[in-house]
Structure 1
Amino acid sequence: MLLLTIWPLFALICLGFVLYRKGFPDMGFWSAAERLNYFLLFPALLVASLARAPVRDPEVLRLGLAAVVTILLAFTGFVIARRLRPTPAARFGPAVQGAVRFNTYLGLAITGSLAGPEGLQRAAVYLAVCVPVVNVLSILALTEKGQGRGVLSLLRAILTNPLILGCLAGLALSISGIGLPFGTDRFLDLLAKSSLPLGLLCVGAALRPASMTKDLPVIIGNSAIRLGIMPLLAATVGWFFGLQGPEALTLVVFSAIPTAAASYVLTQQMKGDGTLMAGLVTGQTLIAIVTIPLMLQLLGLA
């Protein structure tokens, strides 16, 4: 049953890869589609989901805290490993992003498929808490010691992120009790419905199999951490915080999915090893087809 639920999502990723390779509809379409989704459709989905989410529910608050603890524990592990084996930021940054970042489209699609609207709401809460955290950690990991990066520039990078702005808007609507009046709920729902299918197609279009040949051992090792150790860590943290139901599912799903395709863009911008990052995105996405259902079955969440 789980495989029947998940395989259409990966089929969309594969379809995106095939369409991109065939040059259909044209090469300029994919960058435009990604921008449309990133700046409009996906933020609309976040606003709509968070505006309806029970953000004051203690279970939901525990989900947010457990998510941050999981990510910080993983990041701390990488910092300790770097002290034992010094690694330049150009390589350390992709390794950290490969472990702590997550493909938001796939995470929302899986939680929505398995837990319905309630799952989407929990997933939106997870994103509201964790997107700022992983962005800051990713920038820090890609910054060489002594190079420096001001607090203001970090804040600017966070507060101009459309996903974070969408999360803040949705949280404000939920906490204030305003919700989505005057038909705005229907308007945002119409925008949101196209976000996940288009996002998954764009994920497929961004895959670069050739980038896996250079650092295959590193890619396999990092993928084992991301797709194997991270969901086990998340399940342990979730158990410690007493999470159950859709909260536990959301925490584990977002820890079991591959890293974000946007990691490549950030790595390139900060002069990191873009080839390694592209290989991690591609390798993890391909391996996750098998590991996600296995991990959810193993942890009794499917």
Structure 2
Amino acid sequence: MLTTLLALLPIILITALGYLLERTGLISRDQWRGIERLAYFLLFPAILFKSIATVDFNAVPTLEMGLALLCAILVMVGGVLALRPWMQARFNINGPRFTSIFQGAVRWNGFLALAMADSLMGSEGVALLAVAMVVMIPVLNISSILVLSKYGDSGVTPTPAKVARDLYTNPFNIAIAAGIVFNLLSIPIPGFALQTLTMLGAASLPVGIICVGASLDLNSLRRPGPALTLGTFIRLLVSPLMGAAFAFAFGVTGNAHTAIIIACSVPSASNAFLLARLMGGDTKLMAEILTLQTLVAIATIPLAILLLDSAS
């Protein structure tokens, strides 16, 4: 427990630094958007590509880990969708509010997950999280887009061609696909290029976490309700249990098991707010969920690793 807390402490401090920087006005909102785009389109894809291109898939339980995460994701997606009629009848949760609960429950913050894995397991942890991203990012992007297209309030239903275009133009998906090609074909990466990717990747984690802190809105938590509670705790409590259960079912142990717990325990993706805004979700509720999840995860992530990972 103490080891996990110490590994999490720098992430907490950097998140707090991002929050303070945004509140001081030293960096304007437009400048924050530029920093977020830099991380999203360059820094984060760089570490994804390098990690996947250079990882030895034979040295990690790629198939077992991928199947465990895929099953956990599908159960979470199906479970939240099955709860929608109950949410509507019991708490009068409409379509746009449901989309924010859905994104809050099933999506994950890759920045925080990578930082946690790096703190706890070093380069092996980053490689394992890269394997997780190969499975999780495309599936979660597709499911989020489809749910928002059905229940959102944008008035526009994306066509299959639009969904496909969103997927193959996503910088994360491009980096993942390129990394897989380089890995499977054993394409050598020159030393200078590898060093460049290493430097960009090293910048991605602190910059990404600072952006997470800058996006927090503590004022949004003044009036918590059922939608905020459901969107927060389904992700932080149920998702780690699903990850641990399927990791056990597929025989995943060791650092790969820890990587699964981390991937299933971190808060939802910060760009869920952008997707909600673009596709008619409830942006206010989405901001509340992201903020509360980030705060509560300070306690739930170490507990999930302590209680669920120790049993592997």
Q: Distance in 1 between matches of 2:246 and 2:269?
A: 22
Give percent identity, aligned residues only.
36
Q: CA deviation at 1:214?
A: 4.2
The amino acid of 1:106's aligned partner reads L
**Bigger CA drift: 216-225 or 110-119?**
216-225
> SS of the counterpart of 1:194?
helix
How much has 1:31 moved relative to structure 2? 1.1
Distance 1:52 1:213 in 2: 46
Point out where structure 2 has 5 or more consecutive residues left out of the alignment.
none
Give 1:144 shift. Answer: 2.5
1:213 shift after superposition: 3.0
AA aligned opposite 2:178: A
Return the match for 2:221 from 199, 212, 223. Answer: 212
Distance 1:293 1:277 in 2: 24
Kept in 2, the 8 Å contact 1:215–1:276? The answer is no
Cα displacement (A) at 1:18: 0.5
Report the equivalent of 1:274: 283
Distance 1:260 1:93 in 2: 14
Amino acid at match of 2:293: Q
Cα distance in 1 for partners of 2:235, 2:182 equals 34
Q: Which residue of 2 aligns with 1:132?
A: 138
**Structure 1 residues without counterparts, runs of 5 or longer:** none
Quote the Cα distance in structure 2 between the aligned partners of 1:226 and 1:180: 38
The answer to whether the aligner puts 1:8 opposite 2:10 as a matched pair is: yes
Distance in 1 (alpha carbons) for counterparts of 2:102 and 2:29: 31
How many aligned positions are there? 302
1:256 aligns with 2:265: yes
Q: Which residue number corresponds to residue 106 of structure 1?
A: 112
User: CA offset at residue 112 of structure 1?
Assistant: 1.2
Farther off after superposition, 82-91 or 117-126: 82-91
The match for 1:50 is 52
Determine if the alignment matches structure 1 residue 186 to structure 2 residue 195: yes
**Range with bigger deviation, 173-182 or 203-212:** 173-182
Alpha-carbon distance between aligned partners in 2 of 1:250 and 1:173, rounded to the nearest angstrom: 23
1:249–1:301 contact (8 Å) kept in structure 2 = no
Q: Distance in 1 between matches of 2:184 and 2:194?
A: 16
Deviation at 1:211, TM superposition (A): 2.2
Greater Cα offset, 272-281 or 85-94: 85-94
Per the normalisation by structure 2, the TM-score is: 0.92
SS across alignment from 2:57: coil
Residue 61 in structure 1 maps to residue 63 in structure 2: yes
1:239 alignment partner in structure 2: 248
TM-score (norm 1): 0.95
Contact 2:60 2:128 in 1 (8 A): no
Secondary structure of the residue aligned to 1:170 is helix
| Residues 23 and 69 (structure 1), Cα distance of their counterparts in 2 relative to 1, 3 Å cut | same
| Cα shift readout 1:158-204 (whole Å, capped 9, x = no counterpart) | 11111111111111111111142242111100111100000000000
Q: Paired residue for 1:37?
A: 39
Distance 1:300 1:129 in 2: 21
Counterpart secondary structure, 1:68:
helix
SS of structure 2 residue aligned to 1:143: helix
Q: After TM superposition, give the deviation of residue 92 of structure 1 in Å.
A: 1.6
